[in-house]
Amino acid sequence: MGCFFPLFCLFAFFYLGASQNIPRLRLIPKDAVTQSFNQKERLTAMFHEAGSPQLIVGGRGTVWILTFVGSEITPTEVPVRVEEKAEKDCKRAEKGDCDNFIQMIERIENKTLVCGTNAGSPKCWLLVNTSLQRSSQGQIFTMVGENVVSSSPLQNAVTIAIEDSLYSALSGNKSSFQRSYGRKKGVKTRDSWISNAEFEGAALFPHKDRRKDEIFFFYNEVNRSAGLDEELYKVWLGRVCKVDQGEKPGSGDFWSTFLKARLVCGRPHEPLLFHRLEDAFVFREEGQAEATLYGVFSSPWGSSAVCSYSMKRISSHFETSKFKDAPGSIPHPRPGLCVPPDSSSSLAKMLAFIKDHPELEAVVYPDEEQPLYVLQMNDTYTQVVVDKVRDANNVSHDVLFLGTAKGKIHKVLRSKEQTVIIAELSPFKGEAPVTQMILDAATGHLYVSTKFEVTRLPLHDCSQYNGNCWKCILAQDPYCGWDAAGKSCSAISQKNHTNRLIQSLDSSSTTQACKAAEEKLSQDSIKKVSVDHTAYIYLPCPLRSHHASYSWVKDNKFYPCAMEDQSCTLRFGQHTPMGEGLFKCMAREKGYKEEIMGFEVALSSGVIPELALMLSGAAFLTITILLL
């Protein structure tokens, strides 16, 4: 097919729609409820129970109980002061920050456990209502086994409560994964299995036969002696069985089913660009056997990637993969199986084998053997949570919420056809990395924190896409659909799943969803500008969708525009002589055309002060308008 307007074909359109790895919209959430804290607080832990109006946040020597009612937050402060002896010992040893940083808040057997660094001597307490409770013996509640959280505020705690037990991971030189509280025996990993670890997450993978339930934990292993051409980090999957009671009495309290495997975000037989795990989240829809591991990875060059892995495939990998560097035959039954062996001699052989050969030979690659997408912008991912959403046609989709290093949240639709960053949300006042995220599907909210702020966002914010059918449909937000009768973009619910809301998450059928395919500017919205013919003029056009293509046009002639931040700016100068007439900025996206801005330019020896500003000492003219 030929091109009727060569200049237009070469310059006019700055097309972003083909790239799925940038946010389509950049939004400030309208219904976000945010609480700011003093910068000394340094929030490090967060807990929320599904359906509850409360969020419990841990800071420096304080637990905050935030109660959300509508658009209001009522904060309640519960001091968790450092113990006097621990503080004195810390200062005497000059360990550094001798305070109590709350690193873990978990609920087990209707008890809320709060653990903090306690000036380098980690300690745990029971939180009851709005106070710390002592046990009946009058002693502060302590954990069984080793420390649950790190003694350093610089190392985040990774914990997971499963039934009546707490599992915790300790990063650093003495890395370990352990069952640290509950009715079951406390067990841990051997020092030789994990070294210099940075733990990033843990998850339960249940089976129909509950005796086969597996617990996975995800971590980076730091290669402190890496050369210039060696990897600084390796990502690992560690795995134990929930029924594991450890080795027999007298031989040590170590896991008897521990295995580990390399986890890679990238393509096989290609350089591993994303070799550091930043966060991991395992999502399983209630009542369903299938589960997916989502991980966000970073590279040494400051880019991020999102990878997904079938948990069923991972579990099978641990049951069938060869063991690395294992000489001779493999004991029977296979080491690491969650079903215990019949005899003590079989158990002894399995334990001896796992002690020296816990690593699997095969590497775990992502689904489709490639990342879902790579983030190509000046930001990186730090956190991920996932929701399962049923659209207007009752088809389920995974929606990812990804926190960034600059305090943004990316809302991402994953479908069979594509992965699309629907929007970038900016709920915080300051720019700081997102450190915690909790999604409550029961109430339809997402809780997000940085070290200094906490916010609650609605999972659906359909009013952001109001205006007309096209703006709602092109959003590709599975939470929202166009209500033709009410002429509004409305939230999908069980009541309106069928025959009412218009929605099209499949880009190939988007053009059939709405009737009118063009929106023109009204005469009242066209700005009239009178300028001197010797001046250089800048006409701004706000970028509403970053997946649309933009152009300026006058009398069927197309003009190139410079993409500057949030504007497609038309610059007149030596190579683009200025002329009189009506200049319009247009956006095109999937069959929809919208006129964004219009300027009626007239040449004269003067200017209109309300719309133009002559820069002192230079022949430049800037049109100043409100970019809506």
Is residue 80 in some structural domain?
Answer: yes
User: If we measure between CA atoms, which residue out of 93, 123, 117 comes closest to residue 103?
Assistant: 117
Q: Are strands 62-69 and 72-79 parallel, antiparallel or unpaired?
A: antiparallel
Is residue 320 in some structural domain?
Answer: yes
Q: Are strands 527-531 and 592-603 parallel, antiparallel or unpaired?
A: parallel
Task: Choose the final residue of a domain: 344, 377, 410.
Answer: 377
Phi, psi of 355 (to 5 degrees): -55, -40
**Which CATH number characterizes residue 587's domain?**
2.60.40.10
* Predicted pLDDT at 20: 55
Which amino acid is present at 614? Answer: M
Q: Do 225 and 107 share a structural domain? A: no
User: If we measure between CA atoms, which residue out of 128, 118, 127, 173 comes closest to residue 148?
Assistant: 118
Q: Do 323 and 260 share a structural domain? A: yes
* Predicted pLDDT at 508: 59
Q: Do 174 and 139 share a structural domain? A: no
Q: Do 188 and 131 share a structural domain? A: no
Q: Do 136 and 182 share a structural domain? A: no
Is residue 24 in some structural domain?
Answer: no
For the sheet containing 176-182, what is the strand order?
158-162, 165-170, 176-182
pLDDT tens profile 567-597: 999 888 766 777 889 999 999 998 899 999 9
Res. 1: pLDDT tops 70: no
Angstrom distance (rounded) from CA 167 to CA 161:
6
pLDDT tens profile 483-536: 988 889 999 986 655 567 888 887 655 656 788 788 899 888 899 988 877 777
- Give the number of other CB atoms < 10 A from CB of residue 191: 12
Over the chain, what is the mean pLDDT?
A: 84
Q: Do 188 and 54 share a structural domain? A: no
Q: Do 135 and 166 share a structural domain? A: no
Res. 620: pLDDT tops 60: no
* Predicted pLDDT at 495: 61
| Helix H or strand E segment including 471 | helix 469-474
Q: Do 314 and 243 share a structural domain? A: yes
Q: Do 130 and 71 share a structural domain? A: yes
Q: Do 172 and 145 share a structural domain? A: no
Is residue 593 in some structural domain?
Answer: yes
pLDDT band at residue 628, thresholds of 50, 70 and 90? very low
Angstrom distance (rounded) from CA 56 to CA 41:
14
pLDDT tens profile 441-478: 999 999 999 999 999 999 999 999 988 899 999 999 99
pLDDT tens profile 113-130: 999 999 989 988 889 888
Task: Choose the final residue of a domain: 351, 377, 403.
Answer: 377
Res. 615: pLDDT tops 90: no
Is residue 411 in some structural domain?
Answer: no
- Determine which of 222-236, 396-410, 550-564 has the lowest per-residue pLDDT on average: 222-236
* Predicted pLDDT at 250: 53
Q: Do 358 and 239 share a structural domain? A: yes
**Which CATH number characterizes residue 174's domain?**
2.130.10.10
Question: What is the residue range of 213's domain?
Answer: 156-377
* Structure letter (DSSP) for residue 163: T
Res. 285: pLDDT tops 50: yes
Task: Choose the final residue of a domain: 377, 397, 430.
Answer: 377
Number of domains the chain contains: 3
Is residue 329 in some structural domain?
Answer: yes
Res. 437: pLDDT tops 60: yes
Beta strands in 275-394 (DSSP E): 276-283, 292-298, 304-310, 373-375, 381-390
Instruction: Give, rounded to a whole angstrom, the gap between the first and last alpha carbons of the chain.
Output: 36
pLDDT tens profile 544-558: 999 999 999 999 888
* Predicted pLDDT at 275: 87
User: What share of the chain in percent tops pLDDT 70?
Assistant: 86
pLDDT band at residue 155, thresholds of 50, 70 and 90? confident
Mean pLDDT value across residues 41-63? 94
Q: Do 261 and 160 share a structural domain? A: yes
pLDDT tens profile 331-358: 888 999 987 767 777 888 888 999 999 9
Is residue 623 in some structural domain?
Answer: no
pLDDT band at residue 94, thresholds of 50, 70 and 90? confident
Mean pLDDT value across residues 404-414? 96
Cβ neighbourhood burial of 36 (10 Å; 0-12, 13-18, 19+): middle
Is residue 181 in some structural domain?
Answer: yes
Mean pLDDT value across residues 618-628? 38
pLDDT band at residue 251, thresholds of 50, 70 and 90? low
Q: Are strands 453-458 and 488-491 parallel, antiparallel or unpaired?
A: unpaired
* Predicted pLDDT at 21: 79
pLDDT band at residue 278, thresholds of 50, 70 and 90? very high
